[in-house]
Chain A
């Protein structure tokens, strides 16, 4: 007995040492990487503070937009442990609804007035929120609910299938070429400048992104933390059987979560359409993957984590594309973002704010 213990000890020792060395090496590498990035950012800040400021502001706005979509992934993952790959496409359809309304209902053209622009925005928000919320809940009812007891891979593959269906719906509806949303009056060249600090121009389009997103994010966190529906969501996410024993209608709570996630995607779609003034059938797929990365970076299932991850991804993307001194440029954006996804999954699967769970998620 004693001897056996000693033998196994002898085997364990070198493995543990090797693992320690590996952990130290990757930690050192990580610190080095962060230092290089900080130095690079520092040099850029010193060399041209105005550029840096503009790029930072764009990054924050873009991050806020990613946050809306990332929260949808994280809400659904939190409750079903399902990565809803169709989520980006629901967002895209929100943008398409907006494009249709702006062009066909409001007939916005070259120089719409401010009043009609706001009216178009509000109507688009209402339509896209309702449309995407119902669409998302409908998808859950038809495609995911029948697979509730199936192995996890089944709903995941179904989600990818739904994603293709939604993209094809968009192609049939709008064609393969991107649709333009003529609301560019918001940006600086068209008198949308609000104020200026040094050379840094703050434009109305950026303010509008934050003016819509921030209240939505605050509202969401309030809802999840303090309302009855939010408590039901959290309980269902943590233990479905126990939630049912408390008197929570689990099916209804899951439907509600999909409604909420869809509504957020709808808001995101409107903002994207107004902000980038162009949207195509594949927009949701690409942006969806970025937002998914953001959710994983922050810790999937964790709401503040999704917002933090989204802001970081927005900033990383814009620093990468916009800074003057030695930035890799936009053709590297996707590589960079997905490299972050891989690094996080390998070295910190629970994300920046996520807690370590027994399942290792």
Chain B
């Protein structure tokens, strides 16, 4: 792997109160990659993202982004360093319009004009959002909300994009569309760390994958290899012999 390492998570232990949700997770994301985390509910996928984005700091282990240790950096400063996220459940600002939500994505940026360009770029990626731009985000459909959440994350001009369950609750046709867009964003140069329940779709777009089980990394391999892996096929791709 000759490409440059963007994110390096080393042996993190993260707690929810007294419960140890992550028991020493290590992973890395390289320039240009889509890396996916798959695993069942409660395996620690979302907690891993919350450790990286600063909302739930690990107690042990370290997170290094572009050479800087961000293990204890507060969430609002991590965005400035270049990591942005479309969180689980989308977490839009329901009483703000679509445009306002997108503007919030660029909150920590000061370059007004370029922000405007990026908004146009988001609208060309998601023409649906352009149609709905003055509508309150809380009134959007599930698919539109997901587009808005991804768009909002892009407005930060991330050097690493975290996506948490972008396909959750969406109709199959929309899932295909969202994954096509994820691929497109990646092709334009942004590395992506993708958390998904839909292991098939995720492994299909990803270059590498990690399988999490109860707070540890059970398997780590190339996405193609994981797709062929017997264990993965049975447990996560719903295959019965």
Binding site for B on A (CB under 8 A): 228, 231-232, 234-235, 238-239, 241-250, 355
Query: Which bracket fits the contact residues of B?
Result: 20 to 34
B79 and A241 form a contact (CB under 8 A)? no
A242 and B76 form a contact (CB under 8 A)? no
A241 and B91 form a contact (CB under 8 A)? yes
Is B123's beta carbon under 8 Å from chain A? no
Select the stretch in B102-110, B126-134, B211-219 that faces chain A.
Answer: B102-110
Q: How far is the CA of A249 from the CA of B84 in the complex (A)?
A: 15
Q: Which of A231, A234, A239, A249 is in CB contact (< 8 Å) with B76?
A: A249
Chain B neighbourhood of A249, CB < 8 A: 74, 76
Q: What is the count of residue pairs linking A and B with beta-carbon distances less than 8 angstroms? A: 64
Q: Which of B53, B100, B103 is in CB contact (< 8 Å) with A245?
A: B53
Q: Distance (Å) between the CB of B75 and the closest chain A CB?
A: 4
Q: Which of B8-67 contact A (CB under 8 A)?
A: 53-55
Q: Distance (Å) between the CB of A253 and the closest chain B CB?
A: 10
Is B80's beta carbon under 8 Å from chain A? yes
A235 and B96 form a contact (CB under 8 A)? yes
Is B93's beta carbon under 8 Å from chain A? yes
Q: List 20 A-B contacts (CB under 8 A).
A: A228-B107, A231-B103, A231-B104, A234-B93, A238-B94, A238-B95, A239-B92, A242-B92, A242-B93, A245-B75, A245-B85, A246-B76, A246-B79, A246-B107, A247-B77, A247-B80, A247-B108, A247-B156, A248-B107, A250-B76
Chain B neighbourhood of A235, CB < 8 A: 93, 96, 104, 107
Beyond A247-B76, A248-B76, A249-B76, is A242–B91 a contact (Cβ under 8 Å)? yes
Beyond A235-B96, A241-B91, is A246–B53 a contact (Cβ under 8 Å)? no
Beyond A239-B91, A241-B55, A241-B87, is A246–B105 a contact (Cβ under 8 Å)? yes
B54 and A244 form a contact (CB under 8 A)? yes
A244 and B55 form a contact (CB under 8 A)? yes
Chain A neighbourhood of B91, CB < 8 A: 239, 241-242, 245
Q: Which of A238, A245, A247, A250 is in CB contact (< 8 Å) with B96?
A: A238
Q: How far is the CA of A355 from the CA of B92 in the complex (A)?
A: 17
6 nearest A-B residue pairs (beta carbon) = A247-B108, A244-B75, A247-B79, A242-B91, A238-B93, A246-B107
Q: How far is the CA of A249 from the CA of B53 in the complex (A)?
A: 14
Beyond A232-B107, A250-B76, is A245–B95 a contact (Cβ under 8 Å)? no
Chain B neighbourhood of A355, CB < 8 A: 95
Q: Distance (Å) between the CB of A81 and the closest chain B CB?
A: 15
Give 8 A-B pairs besides A244-B54, A246-B108, A247-B156 with Cβ atoms closer than 8 angstroms: A239-B91, A241-B91, A244-B74, A245-B53, A245-B84, A247-B79, A248-B76, A249-B76
Interface centre among A234, A242, A247, A249 (most CB of B within 10 A): A247
Q: How far is the CA of A327 from the CA of B105 in the complex (A)?
A: 55
Q: Distance (Å) between the CB of B173 and the closest chain A CB?
A: 27
B104 and A246 form a contact (CB under 8 A)? yes
Chain A neighbourhood of B85, CB < 8 A: 245
Task: Please give me the residue from chain B that is nearest to A249 by CB atom.
Answer: B76
Q: Distance (Å) between the CB of A159 and the closest chain B CB?
A: 25
Chain A neighbourhood of B87, CB < 8 A: 241-242, 245
Q: How far is the CA of A247 from the CA of B79 in the complex (A)?
A: 5
Task: Please give me the residue from chain A that is nearest to B85 by CB atom.
Answer: A245
Q: How far is the CA of A238 from the CA of B90 in the complex (A)?
A: 13
Task: Please give me the residue from chain A that is nearest to B91 by CB atom.
Answer: A242
Chain A neighbourhood of B95, CB < 8 A: 234, 238, 355
A245 and B79 form a contact (CB under 8 A)? yes
Q: How far is the CA of A238 from the CA of B94 in the complex (A)?
A: 7
Chain A neighbourhood of B94, CB < 8 A: 238-239
Q: Distance (Å) between the CB of A358 and the closest chain B CB?
A: 9
Task: Please give me the residue from chain B that is nearest to A236 by CB atom.
Answer: B93
Q: Distance (Å) between the CB of B112 and the closest chain A CB?
A: 12
Q: Distance (Å) between the CB of B226 and the closest chain A CB?
A: 29
Chain A neighbourhood of B53, CB < 8 A: 245
Beyond A244-B54, A245-B85, A246-B108, is A239–B75 a contact (Cβ under 8 Å)? no
